[in-house]
Copies of this chain bind each other. A is one copy, B any other.
Amino acid sequence: MRPEELILVSVDDHLIEPPDLFDEHLPARFRDRAPRVVRQDDGSDVWKFNGTTIPNIGLNAVAGRPPEEYGVEPTAFDEMRPGCYDAAERIKDMNAGGVLASMNFPSFPGFSGRVFAACEDKELALAVVRAYNDWHIDEWAGSHPGRFIPMALPVLWDPDLAAEEVRRVAAKGCRSLTFTENPATLGYPSFHDPHWDPLWRALSDEGVVMSVHLGSSGQLSVTAADAPVDVMITLQPMNICQAAADLLWSRVLKEFPDIRIALSEGGTGWIPYFLDRLDRTYVMHHKWTGQDFGGRLPSEVFRQHFLTCFISDPVGVQLREQIGLENIAWECDYPHSDSSWPNAAEELGAVMAGVPDRDVNLMTYENALRWYQFDPFTHRPREQSTVGALRAEAAGHDVSVRSYDKGRFERSAGANLAELRASATA
């Protein structure tokens, strides 16, 4: 299949929250305490909420920059492409990239909304989570039907309220909850604690996928403070195997057989090894560990419950049958530095060379649509949904590489993690 013929649905992109996000959606009595954007003396923009400052509003939102200017930049809205924070502009960028539909993870609240959960005033925290979800579902996604797979933030501090919020957003058509890879590292009960059962029940009842993004445990794969940043970049995706193993062996899948989990930005090429390892662990050890999947192997259980995804993963494509043809989706990762936007279709096309059309379609869009119960074709005919058709609509939209550098990026060039962190909060 030629790149222009592909249909691309991305299950992992990122939005940068615009400053007016809470203006319309937070009840009036909370508005003076709403999260707000403040410009700092050094020209950077930060979010302020609950007495804390969250810098790096566009952490790694480098789409359209030259690679020399990647890193933890940019730190201000005027250092980013508008497509990062403006849905109409995002649609233009998606068209230019040939991307039909996209699921957008949050930025400043953290992937699991832990910035909101940290607020001691739980009435305010709940109002903020709901306002965020309403904005995301009704405004960001709602303004462009068929283009954004809606995603909700969780109520992290209360499983009953979390369940209630899942049911509330599901009624609005949202079938994706962003959640943490590991609640234990955030100070909550682990996946092995019945604490979370109301949430699992709501996800199961409503057919909402728990999308766990790498880094959502609040812990990066950091080997040492003075390690080159390349170490962390390399290790992030595969690190999600910890969440996969933690959930696979947990009581959650056994007691909630309808629950489904997406390993977001986790890559795929390591999965066949992982499945073999799961099965060997079961065969060698279950007689003393007591694991019991009712006669099934863990690899079968994995394929029932987990969706994986890749940006460009030749080994994953090569081993797609061993992963599970129904278990692989594509992601663009716009606007982060691992994305090949606007040329992702060409990168993907090269990786898919020689793969039968049926398999390509499953991986590039059909699995994503089925897992998230999302149908863009009620809004746009399939034949107008290809990379080629979307790009034709984007004619004239400027996607040339542009330097947004205002002198800050040198801070991160060649840095190790400790230096990057210092620069990120400078």
Contact = CB atoms under 8 A, between A and B. Distances in A.
Interface of A: 66-71, 182, 184, 190-193, 221, 223-231, 233-235, 237-238, 241-243, 245-246, 248-250, 267-270, 272-274, 276-278, 280-282, 284-291, 312-316, 319, 322, 337-338, 409, 412-416
Contacts of A245: 223, 230-231, 234-235
Contact of A242 (B221, B277, B278, B316): B221
Given A227-B249, A242-B235, A246-B223, A409 B190 contact: no
A184 B277 contact: no
Interface hub of A231, A250, A322 (most chain B Cβ within 10 A) = A231
A280 B233 CA distance: 10
Interface hub of A223, A227, A281 (most chain B Cβ within 10 A) = A223
Identical subunits present: 2
Given A67-B285, A413-B288, A246 B231 contact: yes
15 contacts: A184-B223, A184-B224, A227-B246, A227-B249, A228-B249, A234-B274, A235-B242, A267-B273, A267-B277, A269-B270, A270-B270, A276-B314, A280-B338, A289-B413, A315-B319
Contacts of A284: 67, 70, 337-338
Contact of A276 (B70, B289, B291, B315): B315
Contacts of A289: 228-230, 233, 413-415
Contacts of A66: 287
B413 A290 contact: yes
Given A238-B277, A290-B413, A269 B267 contact: no
A206 to B, nearest CB: 26
Nearest to A70: B288
A234 B221 contact: no
B234 A250 contact: no
